Amino acid sequence: MDAASPILGSETMSARSDAAQLLREAGKRVTPERELLVQIIASNPHLDAMEIHQLAREEEPRISLATVYRTLHLLEDLGIVRACELGEAHAHYEVKHDDHLHLVCSECGRIIDLPSPQPIRKLAAAHGFHVERIRLELIGLCSACAKKRAARDEKGA
């Protein structure tokens, strides 16, 4: 879904209303810029700050990169979004929701979300460990890039 689309999915609407409530509870203003950034992140998970800024400028041309960074840090501090490195040296952002795993292609950068496996929680509990959240990223090759690499390797052999 296009981040600038006036018709928002239910997940995006929920993220916006949850974010607005958390901002108000923290004594922070619900500004159009903050709402826009939550909308963009909810509609386009795993974008980095520069990509978020580019999409935000399509809707609000005067929004600065500094505003984007400040807002991302605020949203992260309030637990609205979370930053993930995804095998890179900079953060990518997603709306905070249930624990899940990331499969990250090291060739094309494709990211696939998978539900968090319950056996990890059970194993931790068996050791008397209370898991607050699970963060796991598996870096490798998606099926398309694996096929391309295999074809290249066959030609080179």
Element (H, E) at 12: helix 10-25
**Where, residue-wise, is CATH 3.30.1490.190 in the chain?**
98-156
pLDDT tens-digit map of 99-120:
667 787 888 877 777 777 788 8
- Dihedral pair phi/psi, residue 110, rounded to 5°: -60, 140
User: Please, are residues 143 and 112 in contact by the beta-carbon 8 Å criterion?
Assistant: no
**Where, residue-wise, is CATH 1.10.10.10 in the chain?**
10-93
Q: Are strands 100-105 and 111-115 parallel, antiparallel or unpaired?
A: antiparallel
Give the model's pLDDT for residue 13: 55
Which of these, 121, 119, 101, 120, lies nearest to 111 by C-alpha position?
101
The CATH number of the domain covering residues in 98-156? 3.30.1490.190
**Segment 78-100 mean pLDDT:** 76
CATH 3.50.30.40 fits 10-93, yes or no: no
**Segment 127-142 mean pLDDT:** 83
Length of the chain: 157
